[in-house]
Amino acid sequence: MLRCRRRIQSEAPVSDNSIESYVTTINEEYRMSDRIVFGATGLEVSPICFGTWQLSPRFWGEQSKVDVLAAMGAAFDAGINFFDTADAYGDGYAETVLGEFLAGKPRENLVICTKVFNHFNPDASRYPDLSPDHIRHRCDLQLQRLGIETIDLYLLHLFDPLTPLADVAETMDSLKKQGKIRSYGVSNNTVEQLRAQRYFGAYDAVQPCYSLVDTKIESDLLPYCQAENIGVMVYSPMHKGLLTGKYTGSETFGDFRRHLPDFQGERFQAIATAVQSLAPLAKKYDLSIYQLVLSATLMHPGIDVAVVGIKNRAQIDEAAGAMGKTISREDYFAVRKALAVDGASKIRDAGGVKK
């Protein structure tokens, strides 16, 4: 079953700040279908996307390539056809690994997204560069690493303040005309930046950070994307693993998370406790906490796809198990309320009252 982005038509006016204004017309029968039409890109994708950020050693440490390749195969077998990567992940390593997986696979059954932004120096330093020459050069390298002729979705990884927006859009349009990319968009842009980019080019997709404890984009970016039929694929929907239900709040981390406030002290323990409190609700639906949170995330009508980072087959089996699962409206808001920890995931009702 395919679905296009639905536009919300509420029977009664509600506050612009109300999350309920975004979920009024949720149709639980196809919110988590096997395939969706991804906004104006026209790409037919699974609502769960296999992310490869975990193959960036400077963030996550060394990961087993064998395990990740096995997980990619399991994802494909489970009906996940959408794979996300970037040249910044391991300075091209993630793209190379994904290219190994793609070799011999039916290309027409897979949708590949990658991103461009950094200029890489020989000493491993990097700096922002979305100049036309750099984009063209990186695109050719990325196609080679991936072993494909066309990138289905090409994203600008971050915003480059030095390159004129018209030049960037012209370059992306040129790559599209050459058949090197099928569609393009942005990642990590504010709604103001996205609106400005779209003045110059057909940016039909966006990849922002979002989780049920980091919902800032609900106030501006998601409504804008719904109005403009821009496909939204959120990354870190499990909040870098914190919403999976496997932490108690006493753990320590050897990767970049040890520097993040949400993984330290009382804040870490409070969120972990809140996540664990979802266990009875997850059991009600015969889901794990991970699957409950992922299902709830994808119920938001402004979110088309959740990009999940996968390190092994067990993780993809759990993520894929959320496809086709839905929860009731009442329980959706119960999840939101439970995760409203210390200002996170605050919900307003039609009267603007925080819950």
Provide the b/e sequence for 303-334 (b: ≥16 CB within 10 Å): bbbbbbbbbbbebbebbbbbbebbbeeebbbb
CA distance linking residue 352 with residue 155, whole number of Å: 35
Domain ranges of the chain: 29-239+297-327
pLDDT score, position 354: 27
Q: Which CATH class is domain 29-239+297-327?
A: alpha beta
Query: What contacts 8, CB < 8 A, 6 or more positions away?
Result: 21, 22, 24, 25, 226, 301
Q: Is there a contact between 147 and 140 (Cβ–Cβ < 8 Å)?
A: no
Cβ partners under 8 Å of residue 15, min gap 6: 21, 348, 349, 350, 351, 352
The tokens describing 350, both together, are: 């039609």
pLDDT at 61: 61
d(CA 127, CA 138): 14
pLDDT at residue number 14: 37
Q: Residue 134 and residue 129: Cα distance in Å, rounded?
A: 7
pLDDT at 59: 58
Single-letter amino acid code for the residue at 196: A
Which residue, among 237, 92, 233, 66, has the nearest Cα to 152 in the 3D structure?
A: 233
Torsion of CA 213, 214, 218, 219, to 10 degrees: 110
Q: What's the confidence (pLDDT) of residue 37?
A: 96
Q: Are the beta carbons of 105 and 77 closer than 8 angstroms? A: no
CB-CB contact of 43 with 10 (8 Å):
no
Can you tell me the distance from the alpha carbon of 127 to that of 151, in angstroms, rounded to the nearest whole number? 23
Q: In sequence order, what E strands does 72-180 have? A: 82-84, 111-116, 118-120, 126-128, 151-156
Could you read off the pLDDT tens digit of each residue along the chain, which spans 355 residues? 454 543 323 333 334 444 444 444 343 333 445 899 999 999 999 999 999 988 776 655 677 889 999 999 999 999 999 999 999 998 899 999 999 999 989 999 999 999 999 888 788 788 889 999 999 999 999 999 999 999 999 999 999 999 999 999 999 999 999 999 999 999 999 999 999 999 999 999 999 999 999 999 999 999 999 999 999 999 999 998 899 999 888 888 877 788 888 888 898 999 999 999 999 999 999 999 999 999 999 999 999 999 998 888 888 999 999 988 899 999 999 999 999 986 554 443 322 322 2
Provide the pLDDT for residue 1.
43
Q: Which residues of 220-247 are buried (b: 16+ CB within 10 A; e: fewer)?
A: ebbbbbbebebbbbbbbbbbbbbbbbeb
Per-position DSSP letters for 222-247, written without gaps between them: HHHHHHHT-EEEEE-TTTTTTTSS--
Distance between CA atoms of 288 and 244, rounded to whole angstroms?
A: 8
Q: Could you list the active site residues? A: 89
